[in-house]
Chains A and B, each alone.
Chain A
Amino acid sequence: MEQDYVGMATDVSSYSNEAELELGLGLSLGGGGGGGLLKAKGSPWGEYGKLMTAKDFPSGFCGTKRASDYGGGGPPDVGYSASPGVSQVVGWPPLRTYRMNSLANQAKVLNDEEEKRVGGNDECNEENMDYGSNKNDTTVKDNGQLGFVKVNIDGMPIGRKVDLNAHACYETLARTLEEMFCRLSTTINSNRSGGQEKGKATQPSKLLDGSSEFVLTYEDKEGDWMLVGDVPWGMFLSTVKRLRIMKTSEANGLDWESTASLGEHSIIVLEVHMPSRIDLNNRSHSRLSPVLIVAFY
């Protein structure tokens, strides 16, 4: 019974007919058509109305196995990582944040050293790596003690924390956030009843009634709020201080239709279009290729 907990993600994502599920609610900030929560291919949304595949993302995004789940291939395999779901359980294994961050940072150092060794100077041998150089020390220091950053969503008073070190790309981060904020009440209730009762997803109903749409933003080291996705992942990591899932009431012409249900579930996929540099204070947007999906239940 409890084992279903970790497998629940896949249970939920058992769609009947994937071809029809080109879910695309394009949150186009510079124009574009109206919002549709559930669209078939060839909808007026056009290029908005498709699920992003990994190839649509700029370099630096990971090509996970879930890429094949996208683009009409299948439902998003939400919240399911390579490991048997262990790392997706909030607060398990029970380790203090401090310790988790520390381990993650060291893993990063190892990876960085690995990369240097692989792609670096021929003269660099393992022994040199052993005692390191100032550069290695700097790497550790620059990356700082990353790990858990706070994330808030507009409309919910309670923030969460997300472990950035658990992710190698925006895709997995988005999925984790979607899980975090939409499945809080569904997770264990689903678990208890073996996945039948999907619980009271009150969060989705706020989304679903058409009154809100969201973009994922972050505060950088300078204190500015930026849209997530506009810089390579590594750069993002080095500058992010905290995250905020923000409402964008400026979005043009978006009209949230009532959700179509798939059995007991409703899915919205939100494409967020990110210009390369956006000043949220000025709200001057222009439309560029989409780089982030946030999917809510």
Chain B
Amino acid sequence: MMNYFPDEVLEHVFDFLESHRDRNAVSLVCQSWYRVERFSREKVFIGNCYAISPERVIARFPRVRSLTLKGKPHFADFNLVPSDWGGFVLPWIEAMARSGVNLEELRLKRMVVSDESLELLARSFPNLRSLVLVSCEGFTTDGLAAIASNCRFLTELDLQENEVEDRRGQWLSCFPDSCTSLVSLNFACLKGEVNLAALERLVARNHNLRSLRLNHAVPLDALQKILMQAPQLVDLGTGSYVHDPDSDTYNKLKSAVQKCTSIRSLSGFLDVAPRCLPAIYPICLNLTSLNLSYASLIHNSELIKLIHHCSQLQRLWILDCIGDKGLGVVASTCKELQELRVFPSDIHGVGSAAVTEEGLVAISAGCPKLNSILYFCQQMTNAALITVAKNCPNFIRFRLCTLNPTIPDPVTMQPLDEGFGAIVQSCKGLKRLSLSGLLTDQVFLYIGMYAEQLEMLSVAFAGDSDKGMLYVLNGCKKLKKLEIRDSPFGNVALLADVGKYETMRSLWMSSCEVTLGACKTLAKKMPRLNVEVINENDLIDASSDDRQKVEKMYLYRTLVGPREDAPEFVWTL
């Protein structure tokens, strides 16, 4: 019946579809729906920039206005992928510029972004409003200057955890006086100085500014002046939060903060003088999001004092120096908590400042709405995990990282199979899981059996045999991304069900038992997969022995065959 509606009606209906997954589904129904959908799609999400070419994306979605691209495999975040592996954004920007795409938003994750790319971006798209770069590299503050200078309608410049080379330019000063459209500005990851006067003027004239995250070069007195100009802020990331609490400046800060009644999200505190923390107590009551995960200089007791004020928190990122006791305080105070991340504060030595299974259990008992956790801890027990599973059946994301990757349950000396098994059995909506600790094939049996919604699984130093990997590949029907390191999975597991990989976005295996021959076999059978072999010590070539183990293998489905920008140490079979 829908076929008899004019396209405009279909388009109007499709307008209500926000998620790209829904739109993808809709486009498969029939030719006319495909056609209407493709002309009406404005937001395009590409989970793997090498799965498709920019030209084909533009051809299919000519009205694209917002593009999200992801590049390197996730393990690149942890130095497991050589830095020249790939993930360049330039070809995408060039293609869009050539085709006259009216790009308004560009969101990139784990991509290589050169200054040249940023300059081209700034020059080619006069309507660019939003640039979000997460975990990217390859650019300097010169590229940012180009964006600031040329993007007249910029509303959002959001830089999260990028590696940016500081060129000691004055990029912030490059925002022209006519720039008054900023809503979100996040430069917390930049290492260098910024022109403070220019920053204050920028904030003063951008009355729509809602989100501002400063870097550590912005001192407290500048923060005070900025807050006076921007009491409407909703999200604040402080710079250096260090001053004499008995000073005039600090008092001014206190009154400025009190006027910022809209702040719901707080972060920063890279340098922090704990005695200055009370200034923010007035806004703590309204906070829904608090990120103190870079504030290693706040002492445990001050953290706890702060947390006591934050009863509305939904998201908390914190360091493990909060301790199990501190987590107990979180559990009793933050009843609205949905997401918790506990990061390690001391990774080079054996610190006493760590959390154990006790903290996690306390949180699970006290926070009924908890659905997402990332927890770095000294140790974990099966009993604790079983309790957590019972308390919190609503986990969507569950990521556990024991600082010693193969530590068993210290009480029973058993592997953590049963604990994780309980998690996957109880949390029927679990989409993302990261394992650690001593683990055998058994945990994978459980995952294959119970984790029906699982989309992403991260495995390190786990399992005994190919059976482990096979359980997962056979059982997890919705699996999209599987990344494995240092586990004894080999050719049998890899080749058992080659068709499976076309249903997934990607598979990463490093320091496993997979051989070159098996990779070749897989590549031959599945032409719509790129099977990339990365061998850092030995350049693998045609003369290499098939029995040789590959150090790193990354395979992903693609419609465009082997990529042309692979460096010489990456061989696409």
Contact = CB atoms under 8 A, between A and B. Distances in A.
Given A3-B406, A96-B135, A203-B537, A103 B296 contact: yes
B289 interface: no
A141 B194 CA distance: 12
A157 B570 CA distance: 11
Contact of A106 (B276, B297, B513, B549): B297
Interface in A67-105: 81-84, 86-87, 89-100, 102-104
A156 B461 contact: no
Contacts of B348: 81, 83, 87, 104, 107, 165-166
A150 interface: yes
B11 to A, nearest CB: 41
Given A2-B438, A98-B161, A156 B270 contact: no
Contact of B78 (A92, A157, A192, A202): A92
Contacts of A81: 348
B219 A2 contact: no
Interface string A38-66: 00000000000000000000000000000
A150 B79 CA distance: 11
A237 interface: no
17 contacts: A2-B405, A82-B350, A86-B404, A91-B80, A92-B78, A94-B401, A96-B161, A98-B161, A103-B345, A107-B348, A109-B297, A132-B271, A136-B242, A157-B539, A185-B538, A188-B486, A203-B537
**Which of B270, B344, B461, B567 has the most chain A CB atoms closer than 10 A to its own CB?**
B461
A131 B242 contact: yes
Given A3-B406, A91-B80, A131-B243, A137 B271 contact: yes
Contacts of A184: 536-537, 551
B350 A83 contact: yes
B83 interface: yes
Nearest to B83: A159
A131 B405 contact: no
A187 interface: yes
Contacts of A159: 82-84
A200 interface: yes
A90 B79 contact: yes
B216 interface: yes
A237 B218 CA distance: 24
Nearest to A84: B404
**Which of A103, A137, A158 has the most chain B CB atoms closer than 10 A to its own CB?**
A158
A87 B347 contact: yes
**Which of A91, A144, A160, A200 has the most chain B CB atoms closer than 10 A to its own CB?**
A91
A107 B296 contact: yes
A260 interface: no
Contacts of A188: 486, 511
B471 interface: no
A161 interface: yes
**Which of B163, B242, B273, B486 has the most chain A CB atoms closer than 10 A to its own CB?**
B486
A145 interface: yes
Contacts of A106: 270-271, 294, 296-297
A94 B74 CA distance: 10
A140 interface: yes
Contact of A158 (B82, B217, B297): B82
A252 B558 CA distance: 53
Contacts of A157: 539, 567-569
A97 B79 contact: yes
**How many interface residues does chain A have, given as a range?**
35 or more
Contacts of B462: 2
Interface string A128-164: 0011100011001100110010100000111111000
Contacts of B162: 98
Given A2-B461, A91-B79, A93-B344, A191 B486 contact: yes
A131 B277 CA distance: 11
Contacts of B195: none
A98 B162 CA distance: 7
Main secondary structure of the interface of A (DSSP, over half): helix
B198 interface: no
A250 to B, nearest CB: 26
A264 to B, nearest CB: 18
A96 B76 CA distance: 9
A83 B485 CA distance: 22
B534 to A, nearest CB: 8
A189 interface: yes
Nearest to B219: A137
Given A93-B344, A94-B78, A166-B348, A131 B275 contact: yes
B378 to A, nearest CB: 10
A144 to B, nearest CB: 6
A110 interface: yes
B538 A98 contact: no
B362 to A, nearest CB: 22
Nearest to B464: A1
A297 interface: no
A93 B537 contact: no
Contacts of A107: 296, 346, 348
B83 A185 contact: no
A225 interface: no
A156 B537 contact: yes
B548 interface: yes
A86 B538 contact: no
Given A2-B461, A89-B405, A131-B273, A96 B78 contact: yes
A130 B488 contact: no
B511 A131 contact: no
Given A2-B461, A90-B79, A200-B538, 12 more contacts: A86-B404, A92-B78, A93-B376, A95-B347, A97-B163, A99-B343, A102-B294, A107-B296, A136-B242, A137-B240, A159-B84, A202-B538
A98 B458 CA distance: 21
B267 to A, nearest CB: 12
A170 interface: no
Interface in B515-539: 536-539
A11 B82 CA distance: 29
A104 B240 CA distance: 16
A5 interface: yes
Interface string A191-232: 110000000101100000000000000000000000000000
Contacts of A100: 347
B245 interface: yes
A99 B271 contact: no
Contacts of B458: 94
Contacts of B349: 82-83, 87
Contacts of A132: 242, 271, 273
Contacts of A203: 537
Contact of A103 (B79, B83, B135, B347): B347
Contact of B77 (A87, A94, A109, A185): A94
B337 interface: no
B39 interface: no
Nearest to A91: B78
Nearest to B160: A98
Nearest to A204: B537
A86 B406 contact: no
